[in-house]
């Protein structure tokens, strides 16, 4: 135990009991004796040294009072003692009809707000009949092609009484236009619409990748939405600045905190530059954070976020205190959910929900236990929703404002997060702001390095995941999961699109789309023009295409980090066996074994693909990282041109049963059935036999050890790899 880390304590009185340096010294001696001198300091991934004991001497900043600047203890004076947070479950199920029915059931069961998940075709600005989205329609969310779909989505749900959050970034203009027109046709004036649109494109370029247009026009879109909503939608939050997807992509809590606040700064600057008064729109900005399993770190993170945002907005010239309040939605971690021993996920989500609550969130989504492998069933969704209801109504936790306020540990940790995040924010600002930092690529690289390091710690067992790398069950029963009939959904969407196009006033629709295209080339407000196009039944793809004529479509190829995963395994016997195996295959082939990591379909989540690419490269493979959003045909062309031995198909959005068999068939058609296809990602175990029958030779789901995946691949390549346990 490093006693020197404890600062000398001044004598203080606490409830009449005098604390002294001698008392602290006595504790240090007693603790060191109990643990036989072991250093109990916890070195976190954030670079924070967490001590085993905190005292009043560690509290260096006054957190103030709830409802008052800098809002460390909450944005409202009464917080949950006055009104609990909003239970806002995120959901979207294949069709607007199914999603609507699900929303109605949840609202009847106690949910207070709606949060809409869209399918990947919608996110990327494609109509359901586009050839690039055959495997994506209705997967991982609801398909919305037009105002007609949006009206069905909210049928019987009064939009003047219900707050609606929509997670949309790439196709934000058509989706928000559909929402506005659907409200109007429901009889709700635009100024009464209440809710939030995510509209956070910088984060997409860093981690989630559901962008459509290049960065510069994407930032213009945000400014146009700010202008339209501030003039017409006073109750609507025009952006939800998201750290959630950063943490899901592997960011530490410091990185998530810093980059999210820096993104917010950039959006405010763009709004001001477009002529808006900062105090006219800043109060309608909101935030979105992930809540993972590092309990106290997450509590402190939300408190630190409020401190940082108050500091930033003061610096940017805001005068109204409401402009300086950070309001946030939170969601429990998706990455912390595990396929193995999945009922543990209920426990994980409960712990994360408590952290969000104790950190002072304004609304919360709790993940369902089966979301590691599929969309939630009604059964699992009910448990997830009831987790929040139980906390609100059975525990007494809501009766005290900021119950962890004054904890020596929490207050010290909050300040440490503020300081470390501010260092990164200052670097961002010194280099010209977040847009330039994103273009330079270093925030993305930092996050990917953190993701690779985390994967190595899990694979080695340094970071314990119960049921995955410790206390694993010998055998597991399969969970019943929800499966979407992608073909049926797509056919239904295509039929509705066809009917709409046949019955609309084509001349008025084309004129509105032409006006939008001209506005994109000039300086017309894109949302205002899109609302008119939506009213005349222009589709999502048509509105997106009209802007694409001016802006173009953006694309990128991943560049995985090097050396991070391998460094964690220095001297490890099993890792060295894999290195030797790769070298043996290289001697036999006369070149390194070559792996193509392929991302097919419209899913941009690339954490898993990048970790695999990084780790396999560190282990000596020649790795080709394919571009995002490939079709099976494009993947085959790349595989043949690069003469790869293996294609590793990464699937996280349920397109595996469509896209991977097509990939294998096209390889066979080209006479290259020798190229082995393996699959990884979010794939329900009940689909394994289907994929194996289609020709997949290795399947690696969530929780798979990457070193053992590499060992398995070597076996597929004909190397006599020693089994696990024989490494000395």
> Exposed, middle or buried: residue 502 (CB in 10 Å: 0-12, 13-18, 19+)?
exposed
Reply yes or no on whether 90 is catalytic. yes
Residue 527, C-beta contacts closer than 8 angstroms, at least 6 positions apart: 173, 176, 177, 224, 225, 228, 229
Q: Is 603 a catalytic residue?
A: yes
Active site residue 365: no
> Could you say which of 420, 444, 605, 719 is catalytic?
605
Number of DSSP helices (H) and strands (E) in the chain, helices first = 28, 18
Backbone angles phi, psi at 242, to 5 degrees: -105, 120
The answer to whether the beta carbons of residues 243 and 259 sit under 8 Å apart is yes
Verify whether residue 245 is a known catalytic residue.
yes
| Catalytic residue selected from 599, 656, 676, 719 | 599
Q: Which helix (H) or strand (E) holds 458?
A: helix 442-460
The span from the CA of 386 to the CA of 395, in Å, is 13
Instruction: State the Cα–Cα distance between residues 202 and 219, nearest whole angstrom.
Output: 8
Say which residues have a Cβ less than 8 Å from residue 325's Cβ, sequence separation at least 6.
71, 75, 283, 306, 309, 310
Residues 600 and 663: beta-carbon distance below 8 Å: yes
| Catalytic residue selected from 603, 606, 618, 687 | 603
Catalytic residue among 123, 203, 245, 301: 245
Compute CA distances 263 → 18, 27, 203, 259, 429, whole Å: 47, 44, 8, 6, 11
Which one of 80, 211, 213, 244 is the catalytic residue? 244
| β-sheet with 236-237: strand ranges across | 236-237, 195-197, 164-166, 113-116, 86-91, 363-365, 328-332, 285-291, 239-242
- 244 catalytic, yes or no? yes
Report the C-alpha gap between 568 and 564 in whole angstroms. Answer: 7
Instruction: Give the phi and the psi of residue 359 in degrees, each rounded to 5.
Output: -85, -15
Q: Tell which residue, 329, 388, 399, 482, has the closest CA to residue 111.
A: 388
CA distances for 435 relative to 423, 489, 662, angstroms: 18, 38, 38
CB 370 within 8 A of CB 376: yes
Q: From CA 540, how far away is CA 118, in angstroms rounded?
A: 12
User: How many C-beta atoms lie closer than 10 Å to residue 358's C-beta?
Assistant: 23
Which residues are annotated as catalytic?
A: 90, 244-245, 599, 603, 605
């Amino acid at each position: 135990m490093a006693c020197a880390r404890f600062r000398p304590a001044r004598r203080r009185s606490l409830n009449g009991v005098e604390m002294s340096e001698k008392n602290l010294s006595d504790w240090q001696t007693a603790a060191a004796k109990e643990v036989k001198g072991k250093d109990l300091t916890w070195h976190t991934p954030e670079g924070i040294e967490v001590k085993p004991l905190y005292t009043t001497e560690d509290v260096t900043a006054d957190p103030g009072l709830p409802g008052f600047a800098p809002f460390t203890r909450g944005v409202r004076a009464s917080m949950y003692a006055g009104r609990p947070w909003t239970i806002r479950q995120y959901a979207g199920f294949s069709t607007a009809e199914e999603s609507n029915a699900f929303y109605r059931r949840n609202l009847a069961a106690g949910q207070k707000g709606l949060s809409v998940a869209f399918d990947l075709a919608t996110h990327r600005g494609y109509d359901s009949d586009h050839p690039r989205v055959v495997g994506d329609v209705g997967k991982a969310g609801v398909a919305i092609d037009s105002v007609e779909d949006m009206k069905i989505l909210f049928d019987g749900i009064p939009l003047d009484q219900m707050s609606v959050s929509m997670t949309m970034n790439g196709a934000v203009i058509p989706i928000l236009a559909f929402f506005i027109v659907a409200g109007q046709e429901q009889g709700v004036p635009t100024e009464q619409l209440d809710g939030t649109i995510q509209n956070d494109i910088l984060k997409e370029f860093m981690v989630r990748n559901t962008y459509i247009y290049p960065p510069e026009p994407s930032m213009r879109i945000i400014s146009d939405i700010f202008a339209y909503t501030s003039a017409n939608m006073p109750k609507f939050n025009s952006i939800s600045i998201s750290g959630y997807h950063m943490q899901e992509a592997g960011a530490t809590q410091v990185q998530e905190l810093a980059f999210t606040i820096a993104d917010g700064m950039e959006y405010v600057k763009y709004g001001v530059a477009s002529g808006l008064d900062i105090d006219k729109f800043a109060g309608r900005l909101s935030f979105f954070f992930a809540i993972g399993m590092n309990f106290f770190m997450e509590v402190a993170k939300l408190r630190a976020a409020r401190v940082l945002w108050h500091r930033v907005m003061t610096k940017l010239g805001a005068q109204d205190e409401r402009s300086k309040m950070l309001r946030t939605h939170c969601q429990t971690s998706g990455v912390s959910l595990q396929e193995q021993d999945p009922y543990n996920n209920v426990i994980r989500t409960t712990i994360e929900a408590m952290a969000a609550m104790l950190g002072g969130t304004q609304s919360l989504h709790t993940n369902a236990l089966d979301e590691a492998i599929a969309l939630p069933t009604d059964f699992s969704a009910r448990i997830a929703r009831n987790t929040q209801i139980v906390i609100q109504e059975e525990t007494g936790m809501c009766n005290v404002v900021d119950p962890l306020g004054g904890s020596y540990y929490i207050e010290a940790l909050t300040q440490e997060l503020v300081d470390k995040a501010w260092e990164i924010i200052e670097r961002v600002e010194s280099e010209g702001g977040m847009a330039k930092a994103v273009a330079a690529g270093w925030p993305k690289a930092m996050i990917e390095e953190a993701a690779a390091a985390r994967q190595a710690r899990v694979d080695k067992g340094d970071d314990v995941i119960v049921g995955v790398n410790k206390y694993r069950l010998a055998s597991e029963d399969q969970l019943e999961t929800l499966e979407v009939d992608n073909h049926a959904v797509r056919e239904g969407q295509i039929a509705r699109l066809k009917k709409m196009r046949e019955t609309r006033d084509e001349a008025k629709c084309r004129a509105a789309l032409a006006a939008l295209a001209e506005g994109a080339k000039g300086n017309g407000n894109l949302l205002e023009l899109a609302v008119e196009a939506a009213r005349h039944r222009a589709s999502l793809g048509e509105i997106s295409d009209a802007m694409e004529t001016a802006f173009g479509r953006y694309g990128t190829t991943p560049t995985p980090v090097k050396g991070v995963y391998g460094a964690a395994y220095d001297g490890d016997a099993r890792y060295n066996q894999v290195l030797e195996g790769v070298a043996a295959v290289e001697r036999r082939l006369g070149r390194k074994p070559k792996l193509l990591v392929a991302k097919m379909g419209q899913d941009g989540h690339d954490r898993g693909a990048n970790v695999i690419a990084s780790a396999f490269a560190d282990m000596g493979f020649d790795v080709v990282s394919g571009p995002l959003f490939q079709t099976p045909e494009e993947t085959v062309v790349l595989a043949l041109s690069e003469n790869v031995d293996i294609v590793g198909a990464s699937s996280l959005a349920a397109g595996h049963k469509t896209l991977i068999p097509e990939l294998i068939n096209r390889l066979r058609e080209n006479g290259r059935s020798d190229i082995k296809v393996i699959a990884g990602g979010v794939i329900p175990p009940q689909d394994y036999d289907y994929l194996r029958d289609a020709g997949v030779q290795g399947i690696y789901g969530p929780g798979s050890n990457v070193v053992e995946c590499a060992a398995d691949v070597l076996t597929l390549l004909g190397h006599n790899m020693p089994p696990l346990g024989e490494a000395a």
